[in-house]
Amino acid sequence: MQQAASLLSDQVAIVTGGGGGIGRAIALALAASGADVAIGDIVPERCEETAARVRELGRRALAIPTDVMNTDQIRALVDRTAEHFGRIDILVNNAGGVTKRPFLEQSEHSWRKHIDLNLISVLAATSAAVPVMIHGGRGGSVINVTSIEASRAAPNFAVYAACKAGINNLTRTLALELADHGIRMNAIAPDVTVTPGIRGNHAGPVDPTKWIQPTPAQTAAIARRIPLCREGIDSECGQAAVFLASTMSSYITGTVIPVDGGAWASSGWLRNSAGKWTLTGDIPS
Ligand SMILES: NC(=O)c1ccc[n+]([C@@H]2O[C@H](COP(=O)([O-])OP(=O)(O)OC[C@H]3O[C@@H](n4cnc5c(N)ncnc54)[C@H](O)[C@@H]3O)[C@@H](O)[C@H]2O)c1
């Protein structure tokens, strides 16, 4: 999709986790469509790097190092953005993450960390930013980055998946509660998408030279599982976010858009080694 530079002109967006991966791609796509962007990321260098790229696109940017597991810092992110730009039109609740572990080996401390990072952060940012949108009287768009794991079983990712499922229903419920204010809430549900986190670069400055690359066997397995035959690209979530932020989606609220190469649609279907769709892989049915 070509971004029309005026699609979001005069709009102000906040993107949590906007320093890397999907959040960064969303921040840049919104800026390319005319929005000014505040980036709240836990890694200060990542915040600054995305802000510099937003400015290169001719938009204003604010880099605000923020740990979304700290609700005071989330409120400060929202307050500083509103103070600096005088308005908030778009909130992208993107920051999130997971540690792979069987549920029975996961401690209560770990449950709570996952819930703080993936769910409480969304509640806190939404409850801080929406009153600013309401006060502005121009409506707004809240976009939650959930996951395909919200809608299917996710062994070894149980608490994360439960949080993402919570976000899906929060999206539907708040769409109703906020509709009278002209504020829409929708979600984007990626499947596997190439990002620093997926490539083992969760913390510190983004450094693609250190990324763990998939083996040819892993790449082939992805192609068998995903109808469009490949991992997602972060900018594909950026394009979906521009759509949901703009008036192109003016009659869409309370929905979850899979950005997953068809993975949700395919459910248990797999390509066999001859490239045919089957429920049994290479074992004849
Ligand atoms: N990449 C995928 O395959 C995939 C699939 C489904 C869903 N998602 C979801 O997309 C979102 C982004 O994932 P990603 O793959 O781009 O992740 P990533 O790890 O590549 O990047 C996440 C960004 O968030 C920042 N961050 C991490 N913890 C933070 C915190 N506590 N406070 C503020 N910022 C923090 C990181 O510094 C980083 O810049 C997440 O919500 C994730 O659950 C990703």
187, 249 contact by CB (below 8 A) = no
Task: Name the residue type at position 67.
Answer: D
3-state SS class at 201:
coil
Residue 2 has pLDDT above 60, yes or no: no
Residue 3 clears pLDDT 90, i.e. is over it: no
In order of their start, the domains of the chain are 12-213+232-267 (3.40.50.720)
Stated pTM of the model:
0.97
Of all protein residues, whose CA lies closest to atom 20 belonging to ligand 1?
197
Ligand 1 contacts (CB < 6 A) are 16-17, 19-23, 41-43, 46, 66-69, 94-97, 117, 145, 147, 190, 192-193, 195-198, 202
Residue 282 Cα to ligand 1 midpoint, Å, equals 34
pLDDT tens digits, one per residue of 12-27: 999 999 999 999 999 9
Residue 149 contacts residue 164 (beta carbons within 8 Å): yes
In this structure, of 152-156, 192-196, 203-207, the range with the lowest mean pLDDT score is 203-207
Relative to the CA of 98, which ligand 1 atom is closest? 43
Q: How far apart are CA 82 and CA 78, in angstroms?
A: 6
Ligand 1 nearest atom to the CA of residue 232, by list position: 3
* Separation of CA 118 and ligand 1 centre (Å): 10
pLDDT tens digits along 211-241: 999 999 999 999 999 999 999 999 999 999 9
Residue 197 alpha carbon to ligand 1 centre in Å: 7
